[in-house]
C-alpha cells in the first residue's frame, strides 16, 4: 500500500509552501486512484479536487474508501432518515493548525458509520461545503459504478 511521501520529491523552493502541498496532493490523488496501489474497497484515496490556495490561505482535502462511501447508501437503504454528522478536531497534529473533519452517517439503530475525512486548516462554511459535496458526489459515483458491475453495495 501507499505508506510514504518519500517518492514525491519537492524542490527547496516549493518545500513548506502551498504550491508544494498542492503538488503532493495532486500526485497522491493520481497515484492512489490511477495506479490502484494494492487497490481494494478499503483503500484510501482523495475525493474530488483538493483545495490548496495561497491567496485565501486555505487547505481542504477529502479522503475516503469505497467501502466507507457505501456506508451512506447502506444506511439510507435501511429506511431511516438520511442523517450526516460532522465534527472537527485539531488535536491530531503536532502544531494543531490543521484540523480533521470526520463525516459520518447514522443507521436506524443509531450506530455511527464513517463516510469520509476532510483535512482542513480553516473550519468555515466553505470547507464544510466542499467536504460534504465531494463526499456526496463520490458516494453516488461509487454506488453507481458498483451497481453497474453488479458488485455488492
pLDDT at 45: 82
Identify the band that residue 2 occupies on the pLDDT scale cut at 50, 70 and 90. very low
Angle at 108 between CA 119 and CA 126, to 5 degrees: 25
Describe the chain by its helix, strand, coil percentages, rounded to 5. Answer: 35, 25, 40
Which tops the pLDDT comparison, 28 or 84?
A: 84
Which tops the pLDDT comparison, 139 or 35?
A: 139
pLDDT at 3: 41
CA distance 104 to 36: 25
Q: Does the structure show a pLDDT above 80 at 1?
A: no
Query: Residue 109, class by beta-carbon neighbours within 10 Å (0-12 exposed, 13-18 middle, 19+ buried)?
Result: exposed
Q: 98-116, pLDDT tens digit by residue?
A: 788 888 888 777 888 888 9
Q: Does the structure show a pLDDT above 50 at 97?
A: yes
Contacts of 149 (CB under 8 A, 6+ apart): none
The model's pTM: 0.74
pLDDT at 96: 58
Amino acid at each position: 500500500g501507499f505508506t510514504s511521501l518519500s517518492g514525491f520529491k519537492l524542490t527547496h523552493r516549493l518545500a513548506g509552501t502551498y504550491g508544494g502541498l498542492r503538488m503532493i496532493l495532486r500526485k497522491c490523488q493520481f497515484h492512489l486512484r490511477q495506479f490502484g496501489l494494492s487497490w481494494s474497497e478499503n483503500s484510501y484515496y482523495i475525493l474530488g479536487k483538493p483545495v490548496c490556495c495561497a491567496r485565501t490561505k486555505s487547505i481542504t482535502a477529502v479522503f475516503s474508501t469505497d467501502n466507507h462511501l457505501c456506508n451512506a447508501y447502506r444506511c439510507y437503504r435501511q429506511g431511516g432518515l438520511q442523517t450526516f454528522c460532522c465534527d472537527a478536531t485539531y488535536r491530531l497534529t503536532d502544531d494543531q493548525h490543521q484540523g480533521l473533519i470526520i463525516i459520518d452517517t447514522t443507521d436506524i439503530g443509531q450506530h455511527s458509520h464513517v463516510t469520509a475525512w476532510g483535512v482542513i486548516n480553516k473550519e468555515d462554511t466553505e470547507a464544510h461545503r466542499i467536504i460534504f459535496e465531494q463526499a456526496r458526489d463520490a458516494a453516488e459515483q461509487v454506488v453507481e459504478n458498483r451497481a453497474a458491475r453488479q458488485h455488492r453495495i
